[in-house]
Chain A
């Protein structure tokens, strides 16, 4: 599904350049559950952004489902992202002024989906994640775990083939974190490829492969 080859990411610093990712060569097959680990500043979140096509400023090759992402224009990358990728963030990143149901509708509203269909999808997802009773609440009225549950639901509502999760349990109690990880496992069993960034060895064990990053290099 994902093939990275000699991918470099750098930013200018003073007279020179600071490398954040170096010579990344990595294959992720469809259906895998990969955990990216490493110390702070190792480039984990940046790698996730590159994979999610939110960051296009890199060199090297990136193939996604046989699309040469490195040769694509920004608009085409966004289209690819829209079609296949869902995001889960450490800070949940729910929109504060929208209700749970409205938050779930956001990704659908950016895809060419009819309103009636969107309503059906939101209703299904609320049901599937057990949040029907909470559909009219605002994020601030939910616990952290519940908010992350909404964030995961939002990430999967348009049925992406790849979920990218950046420290999805970083702000949660261990019991809540466990719940989220089990949810990922279940999604993975259903065929969704999952790439998560995590500091937690325990969470990493939910996946079937660990990629270690250090100073921008893949070390393991």
Chain B
């Protein structure tokens, strides 16, 4: 048996070497199909399938307070302490709060993200260190100045120094000793891949935010369920605690009467990642199917030409099964060579993806072609060999010798059945290509729609600079405000600067803080009232950002003195005073800077102006109500400088940095972690937030392009073989009076008929499946007629071109040579 298999293998290799054209076409097609599948599977495996670096991750949950109206918020530290004291469902419950830390080094001060963790944080996660150790209970409770680094921070800021353990770091909150480094995977919480952890006890005495109840945007509570306890039981347990909290602290928690548990895995991977990856996996599976159909078609065509060889084999006693095995061995050889090339391609593609789109997917940096991926590639290879080889093998293996001999001498083309089967295969691959191209087309149209969205401000020539002064200054609002004004003045004096302003959160930076709002004479409706975002700005902000003033006025220098002037955006006016003039109306806000003594204090305001809406959280997110107050009214611990320049002069960012440092050399130059859609250089790139959509559109677009090429090869291959086999028929037609044009239109007509059948089938399938894409689309329906029409025209053109080349060859047939060929 082994000998027979080896003989099959030897013969297969020899046969394929005799048909280098066929073998090359088939191997390249399979390499493309298997390679793209392996690459996408590497990503799916690395991001979705591979377990998180936490023990028994199914028992890990992120916990949030839930209001009567169904809204969620992260709980405050005091709330966390109550939950931990009163709940018995968890074996571990931990709190973490993130914030900017200033890391002093030989190159100056840098901003990094520091995560303050409660006792038992790493134990709850079930995480183990890559280097060193994690916090001991003693360190956690005593507030020892020890720190653990995330892998990314260790790599980026310390060059992966293997001797980092024991080194001292000078941070905002004192000098800390590095005791451990976390493994190379996601860092939790997922607010930054580069972060540093230290015990919350180190700041418990001084950090006022840890004593304030209510909304805290920058914290998380995680819990590990006790064995045998379900999430529902834990929720019931905590709901009781939450109701008691609501009754005890009605000013902070009246509506927050229950607790929601979210699997930690979902929080880390995000809501859209699994869907996004499954769409890509489905798309790439279509490419594989098209590739298989193409190779099956080539093999079928070749089997036609090998009819005599197979008939002789049968005549010599080979059973049907034996012939099928021989042909399948050839398919397996082709698929294996294709797979080997494909895995190399996948390796390159994964490296390219990681470089091109590092921030688009969580865990992307840890994706690699590993054993699981190779096992997947092997599985796909076997599947491909069977899918592309079985049908042709069964069709080619002659059940009846005389039949096959007759077929072999039939003359005018291959057998009708085989021809029909091949036409059906080509039709189906065109249909699959239509589905892919429509999908890619819809994503690309969504991107176009988003690029056309007016962000509400003018990003051209706008530079932003993040100012994060020493936290000591934050304790003295007046001095802090004076510092901001000095920075603003220093920037204004630079050449090329047209105007300068300050804001707590620049649009599209991802930052924002909601504020409770009360309006005299209007009962609050927590179920319907939209969130209102609290913005602090300096006079000239709207002019600098080119946000239009729709009514009233913008802030003046006079508004920096104590007063009540506020500005709202149009979304605010629409939500709270529909059809009314907002100017002069009263609003009560609540001061929202956490950690400050005046946190939550009422803040009465009178509307002096209405400005245009800004897409603050992304071009694909609707503009939400915003209220702007002068920045001196509640001074933020960090601010962003926005500078309008005349076309951003060369070297401007360095000049600006120098100017800021001359005001205060202690202001760090960079902020760790993602700044959303702000480019690293500080220039505003409004399309930066579209990276994930661009990633999807690019990938799906390249799969669609592959599908188009494969479909075109399919049509070309079928017709080219068909023309080759029908030379005699074409000769007869020419002899009977057909012109060259008649022959061209006949062959092109055949190609177009296949094209049209495939397009119709593809459009029907696409109408059914593009609904799955709906969540990834913007401003374009899943059955967008313009996209469907364009794809129809495109595929028709591809069919036309792919048919024209063999048609031209057909028209060049010399009738006499063709007629004599028998």
Task: Using A54-B815, A97-B413 as known contacts, say yes or no to A110 and B733 having CB atoms under 8 A apart.
Answer: yes
- Closest chain-B Cβ to A21's Cβ sits at a distance in Å of 13
- Closest chain-A Cβ to B810's Cβ sits at a distance in Å of 14
Contact assessment for A95 and B729 in the assembled complex, using a CB-CB cutoff below 8 Å:
yes
Contact assessment for A110 and B738 in the assembled complex, using a CB-CB cutoff below 8 Å:
yes
Chain B residues near A121 (CB-CB < 8 A):
none
Contact assessment for A96 and B819 in the assembled complex, using a CB-CB cutoff below 8 Å:
no
Task: Using A45-B820, A89-B819, A95-B729 as known contacts, say yes or no to A54 and B735 having CB atoms under 8 A apart.
Answer: yes
Contact assessment for A110 and B412 in the assembled complex, using a CB-CB cutoff below 8 Å:
no
CB-contacts of B452-467 with A (<8 A): none
Q: Which residue of the partner chain A has the closest CB to B818?
A: A93
Q: Which residue of the partner chain A has the closest CB to B732?
A: A93
Which of A45, A46, A95 is most buried by chain B, counting CB atoms within 10 A of its CB? A95
Measured in the bound complex, the distance between the Cα atoms of B746 and A95 in whole Å is: 14
Measured in the bound complex, the distance between the Cα atoms of B737 and A81 in whole Å is: 7
Chain B residues near A45 (CB-CB < 8 A):
816, 820
- Closest chain-A Cβ to B378's Cβ sits at a distance in Å of 43
Contact assessment for A91 and B736 in the assembled complex, using a CB-CB cutoff below 8 Å:
no
Contact assessment for B736 and A107 in the assembled complex, using a CB-CB cutoff below 8 Å:
yes
Contact assessment for A52 and B412 in the assembled complex, using a CB-CB cutoff below 8 Å:
no
Interface of B is mostly: helix
Q: Which residue of the partner chain A has the closest CB to B739?
A: A78
Measured in the bound complex, the distance between the Cα atoms of B416 and A107 in whole Å is: 23
- Closest chain-A Cβ to B395's Cβ sits at a distance in Å of 18
Contact assessment for B737 and A78 in the assembled complex, using a CB-CB cutoff below 8 Å:
yes
Measured in the bound complex, the distance between the Cα atoms of B739 and A95 in whole Å is: 17
Contact assessment for A95 and B737 in the assembled complex, using a CB-CB cutoff below 8 Å:
no
Contact assessment for A97 and B412 in the assembled complex, using a CB-CB cutoff below 8 Å:
yes
Asked if B97 is an interface residue, CB under 8 A from chain A, the answer is no
Measured in the bound complex, the distance between the Cα atoms of B814 and A49 in whole Å is: 11
Asked if A17 is an interface residue, CB under 8 A from chain B, the answer is no
Q: Which residue of the partner chain A has the closest CB to B735?
A: A87
Measured in the bound complex, the distance between the Cα atoms of B737 and A107 in whole Å is: 6
Measured in the bound complex, the distance between the Cα atoms of B731 and A13 in whole Å is: 24
Chain A residues near B742 (CB-CB < 8 A):
110
Task: Using A89-B819, A110-B738 as known contacts, say yes or no to A96 and B733 having CB atoms under 8 A apart.
Answer: no
Asked if A82 is an interface residue, CB under 8 A from chain B, the answer is yes
- Closest chain-A Cβ to B728's Cβ sits at a distance in Å of 7
CB-contacts of B745-759 with A (<8 A): none
Asked if B411 is an interface residue, CB under 8 A from chain A, the answer is yes
Asked if A7 is an interface residue, CB under 8 A from chain B, the answer is no
Measured in the bound complex, the distance between the Cα atoms of B820 and A170 in whole Å is: 14
- Give the total of B residues in contact with A, Cβ under 8 Å: 22
Which of B413, B735, B736, B738 is most buried by chain A, counting CB atoms within 10 A of its CB? B736
- Give the total of A residues in contact with B, Cβ under 8 Å: 24
Which of B412, B737, B739 is most buried by chain A, counting CB atoms within 10 A of its CB? B737
Asked if A55 is an interface residue, CB under 8 A from chain B, the answer is yes
Q: Which residue of the partner chain A has the closest CB to B736?
A: A107
Contact assessment for B822 and A91 in the assembled complex, using a CB-CB cutoff below 8 Å:
yes
Q: Which residue of the partner chain A has the closest CB to B406?
A: A140
Contact assessment for A96 and B412 in the assembled complex, using a CB-CB cutoff below 8 Å:
yes
Asked if A75 is an interface residue, CB under 8 A from chain B, the answer is yes
Asked if B410 is an interface residue, CB under 8 A from chain A, the answer is yes
Chain B residues near A49 (CB-CB < 8 A):
815-816
Contact assessment for B410 and A96 in the assembled complex, using a CB-CB cutoff below 8 Å:
yes
- Closest chain-A Cβ to B505's Cβ sits at a distance in Å of 73
Could you mark each residue 123-164 of chain A with 1 if its beta carbon is under 8 Å from any beta carbon of chain B, else 0?
Answer: 000000000000000001000000000000010001000000
Contact assessment for A55 and B736 in the assembled complex, using a CB-CB cutoff below 8 Å:
no
Measured in the bound complex, the distance between the Cα atoms of B734 and A82 in whole Å is: 10
Contact assessment for A93 and B737 in the assembled complex, using a CB-CB cutoff below 8 Å:
no
Could you mark each residue 797-822 of chain B with 1 if its beta carbon is under 8 Å from any beta carbon of chain A, else 0?
Answer: 00000000000000000011001101
Contact assessment for B416 and A110 in the assembled complex, using a CB-CB cutoff below 8 Å:
no
The answer, among A54, A91, A97, for a CB contact under 8 Å with B734, is A54
- Closest chain-B Cβ to A138's Cβ sits at a distance in Å of 10
- Closest chain-B Cβ to A37's Cβ sits at a distance in Å of 19
Could you mark each residue 44-79 of chain A with 1 if its beta carbon is under 8 Å from any beta carbon of chain B, else 0?
Answer: 011001001011000000000000000000010010
Could you mark each residue 356-379 of chain B with 1 if its beta carbon is under 8 Å from any beta carbon of chain A, else 0?
Answer: 000000000000000000000000
Measured in the bound complex, the distance between the Cα atoms of B819 and A55 in whole Å is: 12
Measured in the bound complex, the distance between the Cα atoms of B732 and A192 in whole Å is: 22
Task: Using A95-B412, A97-B412, A97-B416 as known contacts, say yes or no to A110 and B816 having CB atoms under 8 A apart.
Answer: no
Measured in the bound complex, the distance between the Cα atoms of B733 and A75 in whole Å is: 15
- Closest chain-A Cβ to B236's Cβ sits at a distance in Å of 74
- Closest chain-B Cβ to A163's Cβ sits at a distance in Å of 13
Contact assessment for A87 and B739 in the assembled complex, using a CB-CB cutoff below 8 Å:
no
Could you mark each residue 154-194 of chain A with 1 if its beta carbon is under 8 Å from any beta carbon of chain B, else 0?
Answer: 10001000000000000000000000000000000000000
Chain B residues near A4 (CB-CB < 8 A):
none
Measured in the bound complex, the distance between the Cα atoms of B726 and A97 in whole Å is: 11
Chain B residues near A81 (CB-CB < 8 A):
737
Measured in the bound complex, the distance between the Cα atoms of B412 and A95 in whole Å is: 6
Measured in the bound complex, the distance between the Cα atoms of B735 and A107 in whole Å is: 9
Could you mark each residue 99-118 of chain A with 1 if its beta carbon is under 8 Å from any beta carbon of chain B, else 0?
Answer: 00000001100110000000
CB-contacts of B385-415 with A (<8 A): 410-413
Chain A residues near B732 (CB-CB < 8 A):
89, 93, 95
- Closest chain-B Cβ to A47's Cβ sits at a distance in Å of 11
Q: Which residue of the partner chain B has the closest CB to A160?
A: B737
Q: Which residue of the partner chain A has the closest CB to B815?
A: A54
Q: Which residue of the partner chain B has the closest CB to A85?
A: B737
- Closest chain-A Cβ to B250's Cβ sits at a distance in Å of 86
Chain A residues near B820 (CB-CB < 8 A):
45
Q: Which residue of the partner chain A has the closest CB to B411?
A: A96
Chain A residues near B728 (CB-CB < 8 A):
93
Contact assessment for B739 and A55 in the assembled complex, using a CB-CB cutoff below 8 Å:
no
Chain A residues near B413 (CB-CB < 8 A):
96-97
Chain A residues near B816 (CB-CB < 8 A):
45-46, 49, 54-55
Q: Which residue of the partner chain A has the closest CB to B419?
A: A97
The answer, among B731, B739, B815, for a CB contact under 8 Å with A75, is B739
- Closest chain-A Cβ to B407's Cβ sits at a distance in Å of 11
Measured in the bound complex, the distance between the Cα atoms of B817 and A45 in whole Å is: 11
Measured in the bound complex, the distance between the Cα atoms of B816 and A87 in whole Å is: 12
- Closest chain-A Cβ to B743's Cβ sits at a distance in Å of 10
Contact assessment for A111 and B416 in the assembled complex, using a CB-CB cutoff below 8 Å:
no
Chain A residues near B729 (CB-CB < 8 A):
95-96
Measured in the bound complex, the distance between the Cα atoms of B816 and A5 in whole Å is: 22
Measured in the bound complex, the distance between the Cα atoms of B732 and A154 in whole Å is: 12
Which of B411, B731, B735, B815 is most buried by chain A, counting CB atoms within 10 A of its CB? B735
Chain B residues near A154 (CB-CB < 8 A):
736
Measured in the bound complex, the distance between the Cα atoms of B739 and A107 in whole Å is: 11
Chain A residues near B737 (CB-CB < 8 A):
78, 81-82, 107, 110-111, 158
Q: Which residue of the partner chain B has the closest CB to A154?
A: B736
Measured in the bound complex, the distance between the Cα atoms of B820 and A93 in whole Å is: 10
Chain A residues near B735 (CB-CB < 8 A):
52, 54, 87, 89, 93
Q: Which residue of the partner chain A has the closest CB to B410?
A: A96
Contact assessment for B819 and A110 in the assembled complex, using a CB-CB cutoff below 8 Å:
no
Contact assessment for A106 and B736 in the assembled complex, using a CB-CB cutoff below 8 Å:
yes
Contact assessment for A106 and B733 in the assembled complex, using a CB-CB cutoff below 8 Å:
yes
Q: Which residue of the partner chain B has the closest CB to A87?
A: B735
**CB-defined A-B contacts under 8 Å, sample of 15:** A45-B820, A52-B735, A54-B815, A78-B739, A82-B737, A87-B735, A89-B819, A91-B819, A93-B732, A93-B735, A95-B732, A96-B410, A96-B413, A97-B413, A111-B737
Given contacts A45-B816, A96-B413, A97-B416, 12 further A-B contacts (CB under 8 A): A49-B816, A54-B735, A75-B739, A87-B736, A91-B822, A93-B728, A93-B819, A95-B732, A110-B733, A110-B739, A140-B410, A154-B736
Interface residues in chain A, defined as those with a beta carbon under 8 Å from any beta carbon in chain B: 45-46, 49, 52, 54-55, 75, 78, 81-82, 87, 89, 91, 93, 95-97, 106-107, 110-111, 140, 154, 158
Q: Which 8 A-B pairs have the closest CB atoms?
A: A96-B412, A110-B737, A82-B737, A107-B736, A93-B732, A49-B816, A110-B738, A54-B815
